[in-house]
């Protein structure tokens, strides 16, 4: 083989080597890109699993607490019924009709004696009703607990939400629900609404009052929550 032929062959071999190197480099870039996508998808899946687990735990706690309250209410109601039945039995006393009273013979009505003016019937004055008041310090403490349990930032937008809260006369919320007057909730906003609902259930309230007595009462609470509430 001549020297000129060996030079051409060397250049062809070198070109093939460079081509192979370029192909390997491109394959490496594709592999790195796919690896980054796999890692991102894995992180997103882990975050979704955490949220699902937290939501399930919160729902189970809600159900347990609701069952416990129902059992307590049933026991209290049974106790009240038993007391009322006992009081009814104690008051079963024979009733006798008193004999008519005859006025003394000396009692006479003067001819021109003025007739007393009629007495006005008492007016039932209904005092103002006072709705329950959420204690902000208690709410923030329980919201912070739920944010820490969340384990990751809820990237919600600024949003205004309205809840219907039933507060008993002891200042405890027995039920919290979203009202119909809310936007359609999805993604992070939906997760935030569930977190707030749970925090409102755990919070303390100044109970509502009527006629100067504390009473159980439901009321609507609307508040605006900032962007990235748990941030």
Span 141-174, pLDDT tens digits:
999 999 998 877 788 999 999 999 999 999 999 9
Domain ranges of the chain: 1-87, 133-225
Distance from C-alpha of 159 to C-alpha of 161, rounded to nearest angstrom: 6
Enter the CATH code of domain 133-225: 3.30.2420
**Spatial CA neighbour of 231 closest among 156, 153, 157:** 153
Does residue 120 sit in helix, strand or coil? coil
Least confident of 1-5, 124-128, 175-179, 213-217: 124-128
Using CA atoms in the order 68, 70, 76, 82, what is the torsion angle rounded to 10 degrees? -130
| Interval 40-95: pLDDT, tens | 778 777 777 777 677 667 778 777 777 777 777 777 667 667 767 766 666 554 44
- Mean pLDDT over 202-217 rounds to 93
pTM of the model: 0.48
């Amino acid at each position: 083989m001549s020297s000129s032929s060996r030079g051409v062959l060397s250049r062809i071999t070198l070109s093939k080597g460079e081509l192979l190197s370029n192909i390997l480099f491109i394959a490496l870039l594709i592999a790195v890109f796919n690896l980054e996508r796999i890692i991102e998808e894995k992180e997103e899946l882990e975050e979704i699993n955490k949220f699902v687990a937290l939501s399930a735990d919160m729902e189970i706690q809600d159900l347990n607490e609701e069952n416990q309250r129902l059992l307590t209410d049933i026991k209290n109601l049974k106790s009240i019924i038993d007391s009322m039945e006992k009081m009814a039995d104690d008051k079963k006393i024979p009733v006798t009709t008193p004999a008519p009273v005859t006025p003394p013979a000396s009692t006479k009505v003067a001819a021109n004696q003025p007739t007393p003016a009629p007495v006005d019937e008492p007016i039932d004055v209904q005092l103002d009703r006072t709705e329950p008041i959420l204690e902000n310090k208690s709410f923030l403490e329980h919201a912070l607990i739920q944010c820490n349990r969340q384990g990751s930032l809820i990237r919600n937008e600024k949003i205004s939400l309205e809840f219907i809260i039933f507060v008993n006369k002891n200042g405890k919320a027995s039920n919290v629900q979203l009202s119909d007057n809310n936007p359609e909730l999805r993604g992070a906003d939906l997760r935030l609404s569930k977190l707030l609902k749970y925090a409102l259930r755990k919070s303390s309230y100044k109970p509502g009052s009527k006629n100067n007595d504390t009473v159980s009462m439901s009321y609507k609470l609307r508040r605006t929550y900032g962007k990235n509430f748990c941030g």
